[in-house]
Structure 1
Amino acid sequence: MSKIQVNKLHTLTGHNDCIYALTEGVDPQYFYTGAGDGMVVAWDLENPKNGKLIAKLPHSVYALEVDHEKNLLVIGHNFEGIHVIDLDQNRELWSLQMTDQSIFDIKIVFGKAYIGTADGLITIIDMEQRAIKKRLKLSDKSARVMAINPYNTQMAIGFSDHSVKIIDLKSDEPIANMEGHTNSVFALAFAPNQNKIFSGGRDAHIKIWNSINFSLEDEVVAHMYAINFLAFRNDGKYFATCSMDKSIKVWSTEDHKLLKVIDKARHAGHGTSINKIIWSNYNQSIISVSDDRSISIWQLEF
């Protein structure tokens, strides 16, 4: 493995339950977390110790997404629907009851919010009209994770039926079904500057797919237990995975080689499952959230 220096910059606390949701702000100096305690908190990388409560909801929050055009935070409120927060004024603009299921992921593109739920539905919401535009029933199993390609023409969706399905964002119709995982797909991303889709899940394998013809190109046995999420650095050279095995692993995008393991024994890492990570566009740190109710911020020197 290569000589990557890892420095743990901060451990942030404040949530009272497992932290499931994590997203970066329009200004990447800020990021947002959501947890099983129903709290949604804003954090500032320049002053990270003082989180600011944005919302307190009766049910768990698994999904957060920022509308970059309007600086809105969309909160997936399990068993209810979505709450939309104006981040400039720090107030709720509107909410929409739309499901009695868990909301696992949200993506916003072309003025539409795509909501993935435990019943296998993708609900498409017109953000201007504040109304449901369409529902796509793509599986009988949970829609766990979504990723938009860099050209905003396609979305990949990982399901608990072990598949990754592709929809065309112009027509909102399915165009491909990629099968290869042997369990639920939790982690999914298009590689920047490359025609590749990376996926991972409960089978602990990373699969690398061609995003033009959707064929399987490579596979890596990556973790001991489920891969919960993966994220690319903005230049696309590296990506990181986080797992139920309590570790974060850093990889080379080009050859899919493991470069670094960040864990409790070596770096005072998380003590339980790591649920989400982002590779910050603000300072290139990795931000991670865990079942241990804490947030860690890691500086990597290559």
Structure 2
Amino acid sequence: MIVEKLDTFGGHRDPVYTLEQGSMAEQFFSAGGDGQVVQWHLDRPDLGELVAKVPASVYALALHPTSGLLWVGQNYEGIHLIDPARKQEVSSLKLTSAAIFDIKFHKDDAFVALSDGVVAVVDTDQLAVRKHLKASDQSARCIAVNPVERELAVGYSDNVVRIFDLMTYELKQIIPAHGNSVFTVAYSPNFQQLLTAGRDAHLKVWAVEKGYTLQQDIVGHMFAINHLAFSPDGRLIATASMDKSLKIWDAETYKLLKVVDRARHAGHGTSVNKVLWTNYHQLLLSASDDRTISVWKLIQGYSL
């Protein structure tokens, strides 16, 4: 595998914490510590557009698939709904005074992970809270939706992953998953595996249809794994770490294929917080504490 750095997007004044796909393949959004929400175009690296500015850090962005509105989770304030085309806020929900770490959609529900341990279920049409799922006193950090098994996986700072029923919101299973906070959870494209990772730097693979039994336990990085994502074709996994590196893994064998770092690839100089695998030529994006977003092209077919 060959990894080529195509571009660096700069302009944020503080760490970049989150990335989200735009409505078109070449578009994406970024946000972070400076409260700025920026829309970028992969075919026009010089064309960054400020679509919103909020007065606190943003850890979570989510583009609603039907309305096209961008949900912005503002630290200590709530949810802002932004129309990216008009660069205007169209609605807001004073949901919480807790930090918002993740937002995921399923049908008419938005699931919002909060630092007080609550997962808020919000009706996306009415913009009203349906339910508070309170299963821990420690932060709900990350969410993954499995529409096949009708389950919701939530990773928490108490080292546990909890599985909820997607329809009834009932707590179905508690998985003592890690030795420290769980920062990222993701279902495989076929929904047969759940991948989890976090502060203990382990990447773990759980067999969904076997009651979430542990399949693999990999020491993935030197320091915390902040995020992971599957490639659009489902063949690769990218992990982002506090150790300043990205790693690329085979999604079938979980074999390490490539380490992307500063020394070898002019990678990031500080913690890598988020990855986003786009449908635009399958380019991979990474966001960092160094206030930049890097654009990577991966060419398969080469050995290490």
Q: Specify the TM-score bucket, using the shorter chain as the normaliser.
A: over 0.9
1:129-149 residue CA offsets vs partner (Å, 9 max, x unmatched):
111111110111101111112
Stretch moving more, 45-54 or 261-270:
45-54
Aligned equivalent of 2:167: 170
Stretch moving more, 19-28 or 198-207:
19-28
Question: Do 1:22 and 1:289's aligned partners in 2 also have CA atoms closer than 8 Å?
Answer: yes
- State how far apart, in whole Å, the 2-side matches of 1:108 and 1:41 are: 21
Question: Do 2:270 and 2:288's aligned partners in 1 also have CA atoms closer than 8 Å?
Answer: yes
- Is 2:218 aligned against 1:220? yes
Deviation at 1:244, TM superposition (A): 0.1
The two structures, once aligned, show a CA RMSD in angstroms of 1.1
The one of 259, 262, 278 equivalent to 2:260 is 262
The one of 205, 208, 212 equivalent to 1:208 is 205
- Is 2:115 aligned against 1:118? yes
Equivalent residue letter for 1:277 = V
Deviation at 1:152, TM superposition (A): 7.4
Deviation at 1:150, TM superposition (A): 5.2
- State how far apart, in whole Å, the 2-side matches of 1:276 and 1:131 are: 29
Question: Do 1:71 and 1:88's aligned partners in 2 also have CA atoms closer than 8 Å?
Answer: no
Deviation at 1:48, TM superposition (A): 2.0
Q: Say which SS state the counterpart of residue 45 (structure 2) adopts.
A: coil
The one of 53, 58, 72 equivalent to 1:56 is 53
- State how far apart, in whole Å, the 2-side matches of 1:234 and 1:258 are: 18
Aligned equivalent of 2:89: 92
- Is 2:179 aligned against 1:182? yes
- State how far apart, in whole Å, the 2-side matches of 1:122 and 1:130 are: 15
The one of 223, 247, 250 equivalent to 1:249 is 247
1:60-79 equivalences under 5 Å are: 60-79=57-76
1:110-166 residue CA offsets vs partner (Å, 9 max, x unmatched):
111111011100011111111111111011110111111253722111100001111
Equivalent residue letter for 1:127 = T
Q: Which ranges of structure 1 fall in alignment gaps of 5 or more residues?
A: none
Equivalent residue letter for 2:296 = W
Q: Say which SS state the counterpart of residue 138 (structure 2) adopts.
A: coil
Deviation beyond 6 Å, 4+ runs, structure 1? none
The one of 2, 5, 17 equivalent to 2:2 is 5
Question: Between Structure 1 and Structure 2, how many residues are aligned?
Answer: 299
Question: Do 1:20 and 1:275's aligned partners in 2 also have CA atoms closer than 8 Å?
Answer: yes
- State how far apart, in whole Å, the 2-side matches of 1:219 and 1:77 are: 34
Percent identical residues? 47
1:85-133 residue CA offsets vs partner (Å, 9 max, x unmatched):
1234332110011111111000111111111011100011111111111
- Is 2:280 aligned against 1:282? yes
Aligned equivalent of 2:124: 127
User: TM (normalized to structure 2)?
Assistant: 0.96
- State how far apart, in whole Å, the 1-side matches of 2:82 and 2:108 are: 16
- Is 2:104 aligned against 1:107? yes
Q: Say which SS state the counterpart of residue 263 (structure 2) adopts.
A: helix
- State how far apart, in whole Å, the 2-side matches of 1:249 and 1:169 are: 31
- State how far apart, in whole Å, the 1-side matches of 2:255 and 2:184 are: 18
Stretch moving more, 55-64 or 25-34:
25-34
- State how far apart, in whole Å, the 1-side matches of 2:82 and 2:106 are: 17
Question: Do 1:228 and 1:244's aligned partners in 2 also have CA atoms closer than 8 Å?
Answer: yes
Q: Say which SS state the counterpart of residue 51 (structure 1) adopts.
A: strand
Aligned equivalent of 2:228: 230
Question: Do 1:19 and 1:293's aligned partners in 2 also have CA atoms closer than 8 Å?
Answer: yes
Q: Which ranges of structure 2 fall in alignment gaps of 5 or more residues?
A: none
Equivalent residue letter for 1:60 = S
Deviation at 1:9, TM superposition (A): 0.4
Question: Do 1:158 and 1:187's aligned partners in 2 also have CA atoms closer than 8 Å?
Answer: yes
- Structure 1 residues 170 and 150: CA distance shift in structure 2, 3 A: closer
Question: Do 2:271 and 2:288's aligned partners in 1 also have CA atoms closer than 8 Å?
Answer: yes
- State how far apart, in whole Å, the 1-side matches of 2:188 and 2:203 are: 13
- State how far apart, in whole Å, the 1-side matches of 2:86 and 2:73 are: 20
